[in-house]
Chain A
Amino acid sequence: MSEWPLYEVFVRGKRGLNHVHVGSLHAPDDKLALMHARDVYTRRNEGVSIWVVRASDITASSPDEKDPMFAPSGDKVYRHPTFYDIPAHVPHL
């Protein structure tokens, strides 16, 4: 018999926050994955909402040392507010 598939679990800690990855678990299907996620990752009100997704359905970028994926954002300093010099006497900027 094949093993139960692996699910990744994401929990929204409270209203207004993003779902955050908290770990993984094995479950036979989506419904039970949610139930298991509740039992394993939210025994003390750690969340108000849970996402589960099969690990095999996630597409991920490769680790940085093998892939120039993030290089394009490295040399664009003008994307950051600190790139611009504004005189100290100009308020609220």
Chain B
Amino acid sequence: MTVTEPQLAEHFGATIARGDRIEPRDWMPEAYRRTLIRQIAQHAHSEIIGMQPEGDWISRAPSLRRKAILLAKVQDEAGHGLYLYSACETLGTSRRELTDKLLSGKQKYSSIFNYPTPSYADVGTIGWLVDGAAICNQVPLCRTSFGPYGRAMIRICKEESFHQRQGYELLMTMMRGTDEQRAMVQESVDRFWWPALMMFGPPDGASPNTEQSMAWGIKRNTNDELRQKFVDMTVPQARALGVTLPDPQLRWNSERQAHDFGEPDWDEFWAVVNGAGPCNAERLAHRRKAHDDGAWVREAAVAFARLEEAL
């Protein structure tokens, strides 16, 4: 029995329209596959590169408790990367190809990880704002149309809530401390606020792929919708914490029942995306070195497996 491509496309469209999931062995349009590979790969790379800014503080955490928490958090991010690589590979790409594309800069990761973490308070701010923004982005993706991606997102979202809460708790502890510690928190929030808002991507008018991605059920909300949601969620948290968000235009708009807020610096956003951020080169160099330094382990493990098989 042969089925023509228009029939397959119709079946695919009907599956999406019913709100059903597409699974790896189903027929899918090439553009759907390509878009998903790019999106999931970028997401996976972000989890992996995202270990670096916080990982810098593992050896300098102020107590064993904080060190254990931070280790667990960073290990989770590695796990998130692996869930997502595994989902991405069901689309017909390979782990090696994905790794090569990250290392050669052909595939991107989230710009937020190109900012440095010079202060210990950054560990708390990243948990609160960066993982917080990631949760906003990720919760709707649990219902994304591609089965393996949605299932990976469900696992990830379960773990993210620990990430956000440990960060917020860390900041609360510092805010109960000395004036100097409170100043550290404020300074860190001042640096991370705008980059966190940029995590939702360019404004809807400058995001040409959004419409198609939403039609395919790959994306569930526009960038601006999610950014608004994040601001509305974060403002009361900032108030409870006792920090100011560095935006003079931020205020409640009772007509819209939402906060008005200022425009992120999109020139900075594009500069960082295109490689000119404060840590772009460092992050990739570190990832390349880790990959190269691990080569002998990968090879030795294969040699050992062959030896065992031969016995």
Contacts and interface: CB of A to CB of B under 8 A. Distances in A.
A28 B27 contact: no
Contacts, number: 62
B10 to A, nearest CB: 10
B75 A26 contact: no
B79 interface: yes
A48 interface: no
Contacts of A28: 298, 301-302, 304-305
A65 interface: yes
Given A23-B83, A24-B89, A63-B23, A43 B75 contact: yes
A39 B79 CA distance: 8
Interface in B1-24: 1, 3, 7-8, 11, 23
B301 A4 contact: yes
A6 interface: yes
B37 interface: no
Contacts of B308: 29
B86 A25 contact: yes
Interface string B278-311: 0000000000000000000011011011001100
Interface in A37-73: 39-40, 43-44, 60, 62-63, 65-66, 68
Q: What is the interface residue range for chain B against chain A?
A: 35 or more
A65 B27 contact: yes
B96 interface: yes
B301 A23 contact: no
Interface in B136-190: 148, 151-152, 155, 159
Given A65-B3, A65-B11, A65-B26, A4 B152 contact: no
Contacts of A32: 301, 305
A63 B22 CA distance: 10
Interface of B: 1, 3, 7-8, 11, 23, 25-27, 72, 75-76, 79, 82-83, 86-87, 89-90, 94-96, 148, 151-152, 155, 159, 298-299, 301-302, 304-305, 308-309
Interface of A: 1-4, 6, 22-26, 28-29, 32, 39-40, 43-44, 60, 62-63, 65-66, 68
26 contacts: A1-B298, A2-B302, A3-B95, A3-B96, A4-B298, A6-B89, A22-B155, A23-B87, A23-B148, A25-B82, A25-B86, A28-B298, A28-B304, A29-B301, A29-B305, A32-B301, A40-B79, A40-B83, A43-B76, A63-B23, A63-B26, A65-B3, A65-B11, A65-B26, A66-B3, A66-B27
